[in-house]
Chains A and B, each alone.
Chain A
Amino acid sequence: MKVPVSIRGLSKKFGSFEALRDINLDIAPGEFVTLLGPSGSGKTTLLQVLAGFVTPTSGSILVAGEELLTRPPHQREIGLVFQNYALFPHMNVFENVAYPLKLRRLARSEIETKVRGALDMVRLSQFIDRSVDKLSGGQKQRVALARAIVFEPRILLMDESLSALDKKLREQMQIELRHLHERLHTTTVFVTHDQREALTMSDRIAVINNGALIQFDTPRAIYERPRTRFVADFVGETTFLPVELRAGGGASVFGTPLLLPDHAGVGGASPHESWLALRPEKLAIGPVAGPEAEVNSFSAVARETIFQGDSLLVIAGFPDGQNIAVRLVPQEANRGLVPTPGQPIHINVHRNDSILVSGDV
């Protein structure tokens, strides 16, 4: 089922603590949206408000144009997948998945068919009679997922649902979830603190910090055009260099005029301060300043090289003492580029990879 979800002016206060501050979020029908933020940012509170377990202080949530907040949790038709699975320990796999259908008083044969269908979808049909404590973490997660989708909910909510799994399994489940979403197209809200997970899975990512929505964009835009220092810092590794904004509209770093991308412009309306955000993989090391008029080039001194298997991290220092990381692919062609400690180098970045962000969080 595809429904749009529209969150309007949602706020939640716990005493004097503002867990959510005036959240406005429009989720398109069938969209996969990730709420991304550090722990305590309010992303889980927002999910709990959607699920109906936390009552907001003010605001409104419209699902297909109808107010959600006045409905009790059990009438919201929302599928929920927990971090710790929350499978009923006194029921086996079939009983767990059948439970939502039993509550809806479906015929026995229909329950059977739907449960099998849902378990097929998560590739667990052979475990239908298994008791849940004999399943592995990944299998439990799939059963929880099957239980959440079997009754064709209007919205699917997932609360850090993959974070209990180990890395390999988690990455595999991310892809599977993505495929499942492509088949079902249920409007999905996924909560995570893992930026890579958010980038991998989402149609759009809502970055949340201190209870406020900071940026709501596609994964690519979030990564390549973060609006604030917080977003750039939270999503990906970043080195920030202080930018002096000039009266004429230009900008400079360490006194050198800065070439800016075509879409240049700092996210905030009138930032008090702004920063140049540089990603290690967007940087190149050159013996001389880049030849083109398209490249910003900074002088630095190589400090150390860290071997990370699939990449080489070169740490260099600027004259003001700040460090910057440059990621090199450890392939034969780059061998000559790896500097020795103490060697003066030029760090080059294309102007389109030179991101200006505002200092506000």
Chain B
Amino acid sequence: MIGAIAAASSGSADTSYFARAERREAWSFALLAVPGLVVIGLLLIVPVGWLFVLSFIGKDGGVSLENYARLAQPVYVITFVTTFQIAGIVTVGSILLGYPVAYLLSQLSPRAAAICMIFVILPFWTSVLVRTYAWLVLLQRRGLINSWLVGLGIINEPIPLVNNFIGTTIGMLHVLLPFMILPLYSSMKTIDTDYLKAASSCGASPMRAFWDVFFPLSRPGLFAGTVLVFILSLGFYLTPALLGGGRVSMWSMQIATNVSTYSNWGAASALGVLLLVVTIAILAALNKVFRVDKLYGGR
């Protein structure tokens, strides 16, 4: 500060002095990002780049596309379709279940919302493994749900709820629901209730006001939640492995099999690269659908 004043008073030296000070400050801020950049570089960019390279190396050690050619085999195609089916269903399910919950939370008093929020976050404090086994207990043939349904006379025979597609979907939905609710909630919290009052004074019924005003304004949260849930679903491993009972094969499980059973890093890498590329493409497409860039400032 004193230096600045001294420099300023010395006349022509001042502009370059301030320019230098400004640059120094900008650099010192940039330094704050260095640890993060190093970690990302070492743990993300290097391994992904390495996998990318591996995926183009064939069995004989030369450059080849054979790893990608293998992906056309029916087993991979089926797995690919299943993975996207499950991810899609889980995403839609989490929107249908999560949106009303987030809406309720956003309308509660801050105190009540904080209490209810604990129940949303609670699952985060339990291990996925424990929760998945808990579902196994609930959903199995002689589990709580089947015995109740039979006991109430709604069904005669226990229905298969686990070790299949349904069980996998339920388990994943449960694990991923908070990832939908939290971004939705934080986005809804920023919607001023005056907007709804304004819509109402314009003549909009509560339903109309919701669809015309509230829903469009909650789009950034919906986008964030959808992206999170969908992308996490694509890479899910533990829950489908346990609740799918070997009958549901997801992309991540194929990668694991290729590495652990066949030690075929090339094939596993190709699977990984394909998943990454498709994920990025879907992100771009979702961005178009939700027009989030428009909501964030490109208006």
Contact = CB atoms under 8 A, between A and B. Distances in A.
Interface stretch (A77-85, A180-188, A353-361): A77-85
Interface string B206-226: 101100110011000000000
Contacts of A88: 195, 198-199, 213
Interface in A137-183: 147-148, 151, 157
Interface in A58-74: 72-74
Interface residues of A, number: 29
Contacts of A75: 203
Chain A CB within 10 Å — which of B206, B209, B212 has the most? Answer: B212
Interface stretch (A36-44, A96-104, A328-336): A96-104
B164 interface: no
B195 A86 contact: yes
A86 B198 contact: yes
Given A74-B205, A74-B208, 19 more contacts: A52-B200, A53-B200, A72-B205, A73-B200, A74-B204, A74-B206, A78-B201, A80-B201, A84-B192, A86-B192, A88-B198, A89-B299, A90-B217, A90-B295, A99-B202, A100-B203, A103-B202, A131-B299, A151-B203
Contacts of B295: 90
B172 to A, nearest CB: 32
Contacts of B194: 82, 84, 86
A133 B297 CA distance: 9
B197 interface: yes
Contacts, number: 65
A79 B200 CA distance: 10
Contacts of B192: 84, 86
Contacts of A103: 202-204, 208
A69 to B, nearest CB: 15
Nearest to A52: B200
Contacts of B199: 88, 99
8 contacts: A51-B197, A52-B200, A74-B201, A76-B201, A80-B197, A89-B299, A147-B198, A157-B201
Interface residues of B, number: 21
A100 B201 CA distance: 8
Given A74-B203, A103-B203, A82 B198 contact: yes
Chain A CB within 10 Å — which of B197, B203, B208, B216 has the most? Answer: B203
Given A84-B192, A86-B194, A131-B299, A148 B216 contact: no
B202 A151 contact: yes
Interface of B: 192, 194-195, 197-206, 208-209, 212-213, 216-217, 295, 299
Chain B CB within 10 Å — which of A52, A73, A151 has the most? Answer: A73
A76 B201 CA distance: 8
Interface of A: 51-53, 72-80, 82, 84, 86-90, 99-100, 103-104, 131, 133, 147-148, 151, 157
A100 B198 CA distance: 10
Nearest to B295: A90
Contacts of B208: 74, 103
Contact of B216 (A82, A84, A90, A147): A90
Contacts of B206: 74
Contacts of A78: 201
Nearest to A75: B203
Nearest to A97: B202
Contacts of B213: 88
B209 to A, nearest CB: 8
The 5 closest A-B pairs by CB, nearest first: A80-B201, A100-B202, A86-B194, A86-B198, A103-B203
Contacts of A77: 203
B202 A86 contact: no
Given A84-B192, A90-B217, A99-B212, A74 B200 contact: yes
A325 B206 CA distance: 54
Contact of B201 (A79, A89, A131, A133): A79
A100 B200 CA distance: 9
A84 B194 CA distance: 9
B127 to A, nearest CB: 41
A87 B195 CA distance: 7
A80 B198 contact: yes
A75 B201 CA distance: 8
A242 B34 CA distance: 73
A133 B200 contact: no
Given A84-B192, A86-B192, A99-B212, A53 B203 contact: no
A95 to B, nearest CB: 10
B197 A147 contact: no
Contacts of A74: 200-206, 208-209
Contacts of A76: 201
Nearest to A76: B201
Contacts of A89: 217, 299
A161 to B, nearest CB: 12
Contact of A133 (B197, B205, B217, B299): B299
A86 B198 CA distance: 7
A147 B204 CA distance: 13
A100 to B, nearest CB: 4
Contacts of B209: 74
Contacts of B198: 80, 82, 86-88, 147
A51 B201 contact: yes
